[in-house]
Every structure is written in C-alpha cells, then in structure tokens.
Amino acid sequence: MKIHNFSAGPAILPQYVLEASAAAVQDFANSGLSILEMSHRSKEIVAVMEEAEKLVKELLHLGDDYAVLFLTGGASSQFYMVPMNLLNEGEKGCYIDTGAWSAKAIKEVSNFGQVEALASSKETTYNYIPKDWTLPSDAKYLHITSNNTIYGTQYHDMPNPDCMLIADMSSEIFSRNFDATQFDLIYAGAQKNLGPAGTTLVIVKKEILGKVQRTVPTMLDYQTHIKKASAFNTPPVYPIYVCLLTLRWLQAKGGVAAMEAINKQKAALLYDEIDRNPIFKGTAAVEDRSMMNVTFVANNKAHEAAFMEYCTANGISGIKGHRSVGGFRASIYNAMPQESVAFLVELMQNFKPE
C-alpha cells in the first residue's frame, strides 16, 4: 500500500532526493567513501556547501550583500540569536504573535533588549493574521512568522516596515514567490520544506551585523559563520547535502515561481473539498489560509476518530492535528505530489460516518 505522507515535519522529501542521498551514504562522488565519513574540509564537501549557498541565492534572487548560512540548533536557536546579534540593551524588537513559535520567539527577546508584541491572534486560537497594528517609531526590527504550521495561517501580504524585517519561514521557504530583498534576515528549520532535521537555513544582510555593543559568544555570532562559510566547526554535512539535493530538484522544477503555481493548485483542491463537504470545516480565516498546512476539523467531533481510522487504513500518514488544537492538518509541502492531495480529497468524499 502506498503511504501518503502529510506530516508537518520532519516532512516529505522528493523521491529523487531520497534515492540520491541514500546512494551518497554508500559512496559519495565516486570517492569510495560514505558522505558520513568524509571531512568537512575535503574538496567534495566544500563543493556541496558552495553549491547549496549558490542555489539559495539564485532561487531567491539575492546578491552578495546577503550571506547564506547552514547552522545547527533548529529555528528555535534563532529565537535568541536574532536579538542577541541585532539588539543593544534598551533597543526594541517588535513581534506579531501568530502562534506557538512566535510566542516562543517573543519570550527570548527580553534577555537582550526590549520586546513589544504589536498584535496577537491568541484569543481566537491563532486562526488569523493580525493586521491592525502600529509600528512604534523606536522599533529596531519587526519579526513575523510568515507561515504558522500548527494553526494553518500564512501572510499573503508581507509587511513593509520602516525598520529591519525579520522572518521565520520554516514551513514555507521556497514555496512561493516573494521579494527576499525586502527582508534583512530570514531563517528556516530545514525539516519542513527543505531537507531533514539537523540544519537551519539563515539568510542575513551582512550590513546589519556587528553593531551590538555586547560580547556575543563566538558560536552564536553570525559573523563567525559568515567568515568560515558555515564551517567554523564541523557542520551537519549530511543534512546540508540533502538540502542541496532538494534545491537542485526545486531548480529543475522551474524554481520558486513554478512551485508556487503547483502549490496553489494543491491547496485549492483541498480547501474546495473542505468548503464543499458538510462533514468538515476549515479552522483558519479564509483570507489567511496557508498553502502549506491545511487545518480542518469535523463539524461533529464524534466523527474525527472514525475519519482518522479511515485515513490510516488507506495509507494516509501524519494528518492528525497538532495536540494543542486537535482535528486534522494536511501539510502539503513542495514535495507533496498533487496525486496524494487528490487521494485525500477522494477519501473525504467517500467517508460515510455512522
């Protein structure tokens, strides 16, 4: 039976990526060595790092004024690295609270400067993107979580503040067109739409760094990793290689613009069924619905267990909603084929609760 992987993360990867990464474990680049055994200083691995950086910049149309880093610690480490590297004591970082991850990011800022949450949708279980907020004149930066994996909401119009703009794009990076040069720093955990767990992509405008007065620990200073091309210490070589394979796959598909067109089709297919089918209803505000994480519930909660069993019996994996909200969540990242979305829709149409 074919398994359709709708997991929110670690998430589905393209078949080409799985096959090529598996082969590299046995013999990488005809070296006779596994990629797991090779020095990160070897010419083969240096080439991997350089190509991965190059493809990120090409796909997002970025110039040399931006640095591309592959770090460890997950996106959660960026919650404190961002204010540590960008805020002096007394300076203010502003945040829009759209979910669990933005709330965790907000919690870290007061260790390094002032923090102000300009708006929040917490009172309605984060089911919309707040739009009625005012940026204070003393804001050093504005931080957003552009796609909210748990709650299924997404920014469709990016803010354009009169300060630095920072974004956690963990669950939507490379899924749609946007002006990356509008942002001063973007970070994304790889394990949702780029690769496996183990590395985190950071894209940062070089000119914003080196301006804080505090001493930043060496390993937590973005400039350390820029100077050493993400290899100050031994980087997570294998996860970065899998990211490189995914970037190659994405480029071969036609890049971000082509992927956006495909993702819109997949999302429309599933949302149309949710809106049509009287058994289900979506949980996110229609105007803020995510193309990556589709959240929905059964109108009759008693039907949810039966639908989950029906999905499992038919090869649907990872569709259970986050434990904090329940219901269902279909994560339809770049690597999710439209055929799998169509299969889920067919199951929804055929489901007959007792």
CB 135 within 8 A of CB 163: yes
Q: Which of 8, 32, 12, 48 is nearest to 239 (CA)?
A: 48
DSSP, res 146: S
- Which DSSP string do the residues of 255-304 spell out, in sequence order? HHHHHHHHHHHHHHHHHHHHHH-TTEEE-S-GGGB-SSEEEEEESSGGGH
Phi, psi of 318 (to 5 degrees): 75, 20
| 168 annotated active-site | yes
Cβ atoms < 10 Å from Cβ of 149: 26
- Contacts for 251-258 with beta carbons within 8 Å, 24 or more apart? 251/55, 251/58, 251/59, 255/59, 256/59, 256/60, 256/174, 256/175, 256/176, 256/177, 257/177
Cα separation, 295 vs 290, in Å, equals 9
Catalytic residue among 92, 97, 168, 288: 168
With b meaning 16 or more CB within 10 Å and e meaning fewer, what string describes 5-37? bbbbbbbbbbeebeebbeebeeebeeeebebee
Catalytic (active site) residue 43? no
Number of other residues whose CB lies within 10 A of the CB of residue 205: 17
Is residue 101 annotated as a catalytic residue, yes or no?
yes
Helix (H, G, I), strand (E, B) or coil at 145: strand
Of 192, 221, 266, 320, the catalytic one is 192
CB atoms within 10 A of CB 85: 22
Tell me if 149 sits within 8 A of 192, measured CB to CB: yes
Which run of H or E residues covers position 164? strand 164-168
Is the previous residue joined to 10 through a cis bond, with omega within 30 degrees of 0? yes
- Catalytic site residue from 97, 101, 140, 184: 101
Residues with a catalytic annotation lie at 101, 168, 192
